[in-house]
């Protein structure tokens, strides 16, 4: 198989193409606003190697105690960090807490930002909160596209499918082609 070398002029165009390819593989369409936010989040965090070492619950609590711009930035950082960990580094997440922990915390951070009537981007953050699981699914595919040599552990795909009922385990193979669906505790394989 011949690989295409991506040669667009800007980093933004490269990230946007990668996200669009991932949307196609995930059979999702995020829409222009969510897609753009995801592209710029990836660009903003591409050099943050310590992302998985952060304690998101503490950052979330600190942002709750903060006011104004500091609160908004804290909640956004928590939402963005949880999104990237859940979508790009799920094996790191599973070492300490469940994947659903990051999904729930990140979604909640975005929804809290969206609930702030004074915030100019309130509707965008409400959309991010509502579409959090879809964004994670697209990031799974970004990871696959960016690093085919480091495939996603099928057990993590199953864990994602069980987290909060976002995707039922019976649909795991549809959502993650080639995944091996492990039986749930006391259950049988799908």
Q: Does residue 181 lie within any of the structural domains?
A: no
Q: Does residue 2 lie within any of the structural domains?
A: no
State pLDDT tens for residues 15-63: 888 899 999 988 889 999 999 999 999 888 876 666 656 788 888 889 9
Neighbours of 108 (CB within 10 A): 17
Among 72, 81, 73, 68, smallest CA distance to 132 is for 81
Look at the chain and report how many structural domains it folds into.
Answer: 1
Q: Which two tokens stand for residue 179?
A: 């995944």
Query: Is the full-model pTM beyond 0.85?
Result: no
Q: Does residue 163 lie within any of the structural domains?
A: yes
Our measurement of the distance from residue 166's CA atom to the centroid of its chain's CA atoms, rounded to an integer in Å, reads 13
Return the percentage of the chain with pLDDT > 70, whole number. 66
Question: Would you give the DSSP letter of residue 10?
Answer: S
pLDDT at 132 over 50: yes
Of residues 184 and 32, more confidence is placed in 32
On whether the CB atoms of residues 99 and 86 are closer than 8 A, the answer is yes
Q: Does residue 188 lie within any of the structural domains?
A: no
Of residues 64 and 172, more confidence is placed in 64
State pLDDT tens for residues 105-118: 999 999 999 998 66
Residue numbers of the domain that contains 98: 11-46+55-175
Residues 104 and 94: their CA atoms lie apart, in Å, by: 14
pLDDT at 6 over 80: no
Task: Say what the pLDDT of residue 164 is.
Answer: 47
**DSSP of 129-158, one letter per residue?**
HHTHHHHHHHHHHHHHHH-TTSPPPHHHHH
State pLDDT tens for residues 154-169: 555 556 555 543 555 5
Q: Does residue 131 lie within any of the structural domains?
A: yes
Q: Does residue 82 lie within any of the structural domains?
A: yes
**DSSP of 42-82, one letter per residue?**
HHHHTT-TTGGGS-HHHHHHHHHH--HHHHHHHHHHHHHHH
């Amino acid at each position: 198989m011949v690989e295409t070398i991506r040669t667009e002029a800007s980093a933004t165009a490269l990230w946007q193409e990668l996200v669009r390819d991932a949307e196609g593989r995930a059979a999702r369409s995020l829409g222009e606003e969510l897609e753009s936010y995801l592209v710029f989040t990836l660009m903003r965090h591409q050099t943050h190697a310590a992302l998985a070492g952060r304690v998101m619950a503490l950052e979330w609590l600190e942002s709750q105690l903060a006011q104004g711009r500091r609160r908004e930035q804290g909640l956004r950082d928590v939402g963005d960090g949880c999104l990237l960990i859940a979508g790009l580094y799920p094996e790191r997440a599973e070492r300490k807490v469940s994947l659903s922990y990051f999904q729930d915390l990140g979604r909640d951070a975005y929804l809290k930002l969206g609930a702030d009537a004074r915030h100019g981007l309130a509707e965008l953050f409400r959309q991010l909160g509502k579409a959090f699981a879809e964004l994670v699914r697209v990031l799974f595919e970004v990871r696959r596209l960016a690093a085919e040599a480091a495939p996603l552990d099928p057990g993590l795909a199953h864990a994602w499918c069980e987290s909060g009922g976002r995707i039922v385990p019976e649909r795991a193979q549809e959502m993650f082609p080639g995944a091996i669906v492990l039986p749930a505790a006391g259950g049988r394989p799908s």
